[in-house]
Each structure stands twice: as C-alpha cells, then as structure tokens.
C-alpha cells in the first residue's frame, strides 16, 4: 500500500534526522515508529508521574524563604508548584507556608529599613516588626532566625550613642533640660554623648538658640534625634526646608517664623497625629504661600494659630471637616485683603476672635465664606463678616461682593454683617444673642446688606438680643419692607432685654409711625427719619415707663436729635 505521507523529502523533519524515501526499508520504518512511541510514552510518564510535587514544593518553599531577597516571581513559582500538589492536607499546609514567605518578603525590606534608616523611631518600628513576625508560620525556620536578628538589633540600639555640640548642651541648655525634665545624663566619661535609647524616649522639647551664634541647620540637627516627640517648640533659625515628617507622633508644633528666610518650605503633611499647629511671629515669611489647604489633612486638629505674615497674603484658607477644632486664632490685623475662599468647618470652635474682614481696592469680590461650628466662649465677641478697612477706604458707598455666605451650627452672642452684597446666602441651625460671661451685650447687626432674591428671615431670632441694628437692607436689589422687621420685633419673646435699637433705610413705615412700646428698657434709640431729604417717619411710640426720662433719638447716628418727630407713650 502506498503511503501518501511520504511523497517528498520535506514531508518528514526531525531535529537530527532526515531520511530519503528511497533508502528507507519497511523494517527500518517499523523500528523507527516503535522508537517514537516509546520516547513519547516515556516523556508523558515523566511529566505526569515522574515528579513528586508533594516533595519538591516543600523543598522550594524552604529554599526561597532563606533567600536574602524574595521577588514576586519567586512567589509565583511557589504558587504554581503548589497547584500541582495532589495531597489536600499538604496543599493546605504549603499554602500557609507560602503566605509566610510573602510576609518574609515584606519583613526583609523592613529589616533593612530598621538597620539603615536613622530617621525612624527605632523602638516603635522594632515593636511593629515583633508583632508582624508573629504571623509567619513556625514551619519556616527563617522565622526563628529573624526573631534572633531582632533581638540583636535591640541590643545594638541600647548601646548606640548620639553626640551633641557643646554649644547646644551648655549655652543652648539642652543638658540642663534633659537632666531636669527626664533625668537623662550623658554617658559616663563622655560629657557630649548620650544613649540613643534615652534620647528617643523624650516626648517634649523646646529648642531656642536665637540668643547665640546659631549655625545653619543646628536646630534641625538636634531635633532629628528626638524621634519620640509629641510636643515641639522652637524659635530658632528657620531652615530653607524644615522637615518634621519624621516625627510621626508629634501632636503639638509651636514654631516662631521671625527668623525665616524669604522663601522656605515647611514639611508637615505626614503628621497624621498633629493636634496643635501654632505659628508665631510678626516678621518673617509664610511657608504656605498664597494658599492653605488642609483638605483631608490633620483630622485631629484642635488648634490653629496663624500670624499676620501668613494671613496677609492668603487667597485661600480651606479647613473643611475639622470636627475637633476648638481654638482658632488667625490674625486679621489688616483684614484678609486677597482672600477668595475662606472655609472653616468645625464642630465646637470656642476660643478665638471670629471677626473676619475681607477685600481691598484690588479685591472687591470673594467667592465663598463658609463658617461651621462656631460656639460662644467666655470672651465671646461673636461672628463678624464685613469688608476690610482697606476696601472701605476706597469704596465709600460700595459693598463687598460675596458670592456665597454659608453659616451653619453657629451659636454666639453676636452676629455682625455689614457692607456686603450676597449672591447666595444659606443658614442652618444658627442661634445668636446667647448669654456670655463677662459680656452683657448680645449684639445683632445687619446694615448695608444686599441679600439675594428669595431670602427669608425665618432663621432670624432676636429673643435674647440686647442690641439690634437693622438698616439699609436690600433683597433682590429692592429695599426690604419694614413689615418684615416689625414682625421680628413683635415676635421677640422677652422684650425687656432690648436696650438699644437702630433702624434705618426704610421708607414704608405704616402711617409714618414706628411703634416700640413693647420695649420698656430702651436706653438708646437711633432712627433714620429722613431718606434723601424726605421725612419718612413722623411718630415714635415708646413704653409709658420711659415718659419723662431723657431718651435720645438721633438722626443718622450723628448725635443730632431728629426734627419734627412726635413722641407718644403707652403701656
């Protein structure tokens, strides 16, 4: 029978065998066929049954676990080998060992950091490694070796020494500070050297070399040794780049910037435990530039202090979602003349001045003012939003434009809004006129304000107010009807508390009469009775108890008694 598969020389090809069709006998063909079958069967047997994956997988796991470094490919090889294991118990055991190898891979990198990275807090990092190594299975001998290595590293750490300059120890008083506050002495016979373990247990430090011949980097070189600090205060020479990120446990940083260079950088973005950030000084420059954005930073922040050199150049101050913020002292000496966005979101901000002034001749529009969580304090002066003096000096009758004013969760004695035009105004859960220790005045002022169309005054509660100023109000560019103010006055629950009232800018008094007879304790009354030469008010009705008592009624607040106004008294 003719074999159609052997027509040409090219039809058969083996790596080292080329046979010509004419020279192959029938016997040789049969022998070759049997040989091929034998080799194929042998190879198949070696792949499927010749390798003991149960044994080789364990051997390879142990070998890789002992390597100086372990790669991702090493892990992949082990997982492929374990996939071939047929014994279920062994397969599960090897999977546990492979997880241990993965942990060892990570631990090798961390052990190298423990040995070489001086900026870490050794004791904390050492304790962390001790915990992590517990999760490695005991089936891997490398675990016991790593535990022994940790013990050796700790012994070496306990004998490590740190040397300080004599200038720092003596004239800088570091030796006295360590001895008095932490009972830490220098190594015997080595007056300038201390044990590293002692230095790293110091949790508070004050470094001030400004009275001495301080060299560049001197303070930073001292501070870097104190890895366990929770409190740091320094008024020393500011570095061009001052990096505090290695102080992972730092909770309080008090930094005087008077001796800062023209351009410098403050690195604190990794201080996730920071609670108190206080920058001090009337000179120097800001490390933040024109923007401070603490979005998703410093979640535990309780105190923020910013001096005038920092605030005067700000265009943005963003402190969203700061539920722990209690103390806020940000200098407003000259107003926030460049500010465009001002966002402070706290929960119980109680300590500080809340008088926020914005704008200038060059900055007549603010994009957003967002205030949340301001509560009254012992020396409460309330919340104030108004233009800066720089703006008012160049805009006698103008209003500062604020695109959005948002007030939420605010409870203070006073609310002061003045000379502002609002495109959007939102209030939620606000209360003013609260009783405050050492401050009998409960003040509410709304003067020279343009509210957006649709604004209502349901949120406006003057029940506890003692001083009320409410004049020149626009809503949707139209004068507010006096009936709205009158309704607020009539709804005041305890009228006897109101002692001062100023009302002006209204031209629609009913019958040109203002009835204030509910308020029997009024002491000062400022009423604008004339608008653009037109008398808009002719009669004021006061409580009967005020009859015969001199109660000044002034025109435009200039101390001039209002002419042609009749006073009437009734119960």
Distance CA 296, CA 318 (A): 10
Round to whole Å and give the CA distance between 419 and 424. Answer: 15
How far apart are the C-alpha atoms of 58 and 314, rounded to whole Å? 63
**For residues 105 and 71, what is the distance between their CA atoms, to the nearest angstrom?**
8
**b/e map of 430-456 (b: 16 or more CB within 10 Å)?**
bbbbbebeebeebbbbbbbbbbbeebe
Tokens (6 digits) for 116: 């070489």
Report the pLDDT averaged over residues 540-559.
69
- Output the pTM of the full model: 0.74
Residues 6+ apart with CB under 8 A from 435: 413, 442, 464
Alpha-carbon separation of residue 402 from 155, 366, 369 (angstroms)? 63, 5, 7
Local structure of residue 46 (DSSP, 8 states): I
Render pLDDT for 389-404 as a digit per residue (tens, 0 to 9).
888 887 766 789 999 9
224 by DSSP, 3-state: which? coil
pLDDT reported for residue 211: 58
The rounded distance, in Å, linking the Cα atoms of 103 and 77 is 16
Domain residue ranges of the chain, discontinuous segments joined by +? 9-45, 53-159
- Backbone CA torsion sign across 267, 269, 274, 279: positive
What is the CB neighbour count within 10 angstroms for residue 75? 16
Phi and psi, residue 81, nearest 5°: -65, -45
Under 8 Å between Cβ of 250 and 232: yes
Among 20-34, 87-101, 547-561, top mean pLDDT goes to 87-101
Q: pLDDT (tens digit, 9 = 90+) per residue, 85-94?
A: 989 999 999 9
What per-residue confidence (pLDDT) applies to 434? 62
Compare 367 and 545 and report the one with higher pLDDT. 367
- Which pLDDT belongs to residue 358? 95
pLDDT at 8 over 70: no
Is the confidence at residue 214, as pLDDT, over 70? yes
The predicted structure's pLDDT at residue 91: 93
For residue 346, report the phi and psi dihedrals to the nearest 5 degrees. -115, -165
pLDDT tens digits for range 474-490:
999 888 888 888 888 88
- pLDDT for residue 501 is more than 90: no
**CA 508, 514, 519, 525 torsion-angle sign:** positive
Q: Taking the C-alpha atoms of 526, 531, 536 and 539 in order, what is their torsion angle to the nearest 10 degrees?
A: 20
- Most confident stretch, 45-49, 224-228, 444-448: 224-228
Please state whether beta strands 241-243 and 513-515 pair in parallel, antiparallel, or not at all (unpaired).
unpaired
Q: How far apart are CA 298 and CA 273, in angstroms?
A: 7
Q: Which residue has the tokens 């304090």?
A: 377
pLDDT at 55: 87
Residues 6+ apart with CB under 8 A from 458: none
Query: 355: closest CA among 393, 321, 319, 382?
Result: 382
Tally Cβ neighbours within 10 Å of residue 175. Answer: 19
Q: What mean pLDDT is reported for the chain?
A: 83
Whole-angstrom CA distances from 328 to 174, 280, 302, 364 are 32, 13, 8, 25
pLDDT reported for residue 43: 41
Q: Predicted confidence band at 22 (pLDDT cuts at 50, 70, 90)?
A: very low
Looking at the DSSP assignment, which residues form a beta bridge with residue 283?
none
507-532 confidence digits (pLDDT tens): 889 999 999 998 888 887 888 887 77
Q: What is the pLDDT of residues 268-304, one digit of tens each?
A: 999 999 999 999 998 889 999 999 999 999 999 999 9
Paired sense of beta strands 513-515 and 539-543, if any: parallel
Going edge to edge, which strands form the sheet with 303-306?
204-207, 231-234, 252-256, 276-280, 303-306, 327-330
Confirm if 325 and 349 have CB atoms less than 8 A apart: yes
CA distances from 238 to 78, 207, 211, 514 (A): 53, 12, 14, 62
**Which residues on adjacent β-strands are paired with residue 537?**
none
Q: How far is CA 43 from the centre of its chain?
A: 66
3-state SS, residue 547: coil
> If you write DSSP's letter for every residue of 440-456 in order, what string do you get?
---EEEEEEEEEPTT--
What tokens were used for 178?
């360590």
CA–CA dist 225, 120 (Å, integer)? 10
> What does each C-alpha distance from 500 to 197, 441, 521, 552 come to in angstroms?
66, 10, 9, 11
């Amino acid at each position: 029978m003719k074999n159609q598969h052997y027509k040409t020389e090219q039809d058969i090809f083996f790596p080292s065998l080329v046979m010509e069709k004419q020279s192959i006998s029938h016997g040789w063909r049969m022998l070759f066929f049997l040989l091929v079958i034998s080799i194929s069967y042998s190879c198949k047997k070696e792949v499927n049954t010749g390798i003991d994956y149960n044994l080789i997988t364990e051997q390879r796991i142990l070998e890789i676990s002992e390597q100086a470094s372990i790669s991702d490919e090493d892990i992949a090889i082990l997982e492929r080998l374990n996939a071939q294991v047929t014994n279920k118990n062994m397969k599960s055991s090897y999977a546990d060992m492979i997880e241990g190898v993965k942990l060892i891979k990570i631990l090798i990198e961390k052990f190298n950091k423990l040995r070489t990275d001086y900026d870490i807090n050794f004791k904390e990092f050492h304790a962390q490694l001790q915990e992590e190594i517990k999760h490695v299975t005991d089936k891997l001998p490398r675990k016991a070796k790593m535990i022994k290595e940790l013990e050796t590293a700790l012994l070496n750490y306990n004998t490590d020494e740190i040397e300080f300059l004599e200038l720092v120890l003596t004239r800088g008083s570091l030796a006295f500070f360590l001895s008095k506050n932490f009972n830490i002495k220098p190594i015997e016979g080595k007056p300038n050297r201390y044990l590293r373990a002692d230095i790293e247990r110091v949790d508070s430090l004050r470094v001030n070399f400004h009275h001495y011949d301080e060299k560049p980097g001197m303070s930073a070189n001292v501070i870097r040794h104190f890895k366990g600090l929770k409190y740091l205060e320094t008024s020393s020479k500011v570095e061009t780049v001052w990096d505090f990120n290695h102080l992972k446990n730092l909770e309080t940083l008090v930094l005087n910037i008077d001796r800062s260079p023209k351009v410098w950088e403050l690195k604190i973005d990794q201080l996730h435990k920071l609670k108190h950030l206080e920058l001090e000084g009337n000179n120097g420059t800001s490390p933040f530039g024109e923007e401070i954005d603490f979005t998703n930073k410093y979640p535990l922040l309780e105190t923020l202090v910013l001096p005038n050199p920092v605030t005067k150049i700000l265009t943005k101050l963003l402190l969203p979602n700061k539920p722990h913020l209690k103390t806020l002292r940000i200098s407003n000496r000259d107003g926030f003349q460049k500010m465009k966005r001002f966002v402070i979101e706290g929960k119980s901000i109680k300590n500080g001045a809340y008088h926020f002034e914005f704008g200038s001749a060059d900055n007549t529009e603010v994009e957003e003012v967002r205030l949340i969580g301001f509560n009254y304090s012992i020396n409460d002066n309330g919340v104030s939003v108004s233009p800066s003096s720089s703006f008012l000096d160049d805009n006698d009758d103008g209003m500062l434009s604020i695109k959005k004013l948002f007030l939420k969760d605010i409870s203070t004695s006073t609310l002061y809004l003045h000379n502002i035009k609002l495109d959007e105004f939102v209030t939620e859960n606000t209360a003013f006129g609260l009783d405050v220790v050492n401050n009998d005045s409960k003040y509410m002022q709304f003067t020279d304000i343009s509210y957006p169309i649709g604004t209502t005054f349901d949120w406006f509660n003057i029940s506890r107010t003692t001083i009320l100023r409410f004049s020149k109000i626009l809503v949707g560019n139209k004068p507010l009807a006096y009936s709205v103010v009158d309704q607020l006055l009539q709804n005041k629950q305890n009228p006897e508390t109101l002692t001062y009232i100023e009302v002006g800018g209204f031209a629609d008094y009913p019958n040109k009469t203002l009835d204030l007879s509910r308020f029997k304790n009024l002491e000062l009354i400022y009423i604008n009775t004339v608008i653009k030469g037109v008398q808009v008010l002719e009669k004021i009705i006061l409580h009967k108890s005020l009859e015969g008592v001199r109660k000044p009624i002034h025109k435009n607040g200039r101390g001039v008694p209002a002419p042609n106004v009749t006073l009437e008294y009734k119960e």
